[in-house]
Amino acid sequence: MNKLTVRAAAVQIAPDLTSRAGTVERVLNAISEACDKGAELIVFPETFVPYYPYFSFVLPPMQQGAEHLRLYEEAVAIPSPETRAVADAARKRGVVIVLGVTERDHGSLYNTQLIFDADGSLALRRRKITPTYHERMIWGQGDGAGLNVVDTAVGRMGALACWEHYNPLARYALMAQHEEIHASHFPGSLVGPIFGEQIEVTMRHHALESGCFVVNATGWLTEDQIASIHPDPSLQRGLRDGCMTCIITPEAAMSSRP
């Protein structure tokens, strides 16, 4: 590892479900706050910009059209003013940033992970190989080309999104490249408390088997946001809990959690 000690921040905040600009503002504010506290590595939740498509978890396909189109309009092109703003923040503060975005490219959407190095360069751009369950209505398939461990200012880093951690070959691809820090993220506010327990087990397993640190970020939703997605209380239950933002040591010990 390039540094003996790295101060990392796993960010657990709510996106702005109404606009890409609003979420980017929250990202930049969180970067500033974390850097003021000495962070050298900052990890954000899955597809945090503009927001995770929570609607796809509770709405039937016939009712998803309008929300799907709105997500398409708010999605992130790479490069774009949004990615340049995050890159500038990384460069100005000398911090490594891992950001999940819904990427728009040639008419399709992708679940994409971006690693910005401390000089503002884009060290890694990768797409989730296989969207999970309802996500397949939203995102296209990745191709595995981003299963790379990259050298950054804080060490050798790899990244996977959400249930990719149940793909042994994807995980082994990173292990074989000797990742020192693993960046991961989940959407949060899905499925319920059992999902948070599953995340913890999965993150500890990867840290122990890989012999690396894991920095995992999950998002969450406010009660008003949950109500805006669906008015049915029985379906709203599926949009709560499911959070497990944590930092895990190579011995699988919980170093930090909210």
Virtual torsion, Cα 197, 43, 215, 52, nearest 10 deg = 30
Q: 14-31: string of b/e by CB count within 10 Å (b at 16+)?
A: bbbbeebebbbebbeebb
Residues facing 159 on adjacent strands:
183
Local structure of 84: helix, strand or coil = helix
Candidates 46, 103, 135, 179; catalytic one: 46
Please indicate whether residue 162 is annotated as part of the active site.
yes
Candidates 40, 135, 162, 243; catalytic one: 162
Q: For 35, left (φ over 0), alpha (ψ -120 to 50), or beta?
A: alpha
Contact 58, 239 (CB under 8 A): yes
User: How far apart are alpha carbons 26 and 225 in whole angstroms?
Assistant: 16
Residue 118 half-sphere exposure, CB side, CA atoms within 13 Å? 15
Candidates 128, 135, 180, 212; catalytic one: 128
β-pairing, 96-105 with 181-186? unpaired
Please indicate whether residue 67 is annotated as part of the active site.
no
CA angle 49, 152, 172 (to 5 degrees): 80
Joined tokens for residue 139: 């995102």
Task: Give catalytic residue positions.
Answer: 46, 128, 162
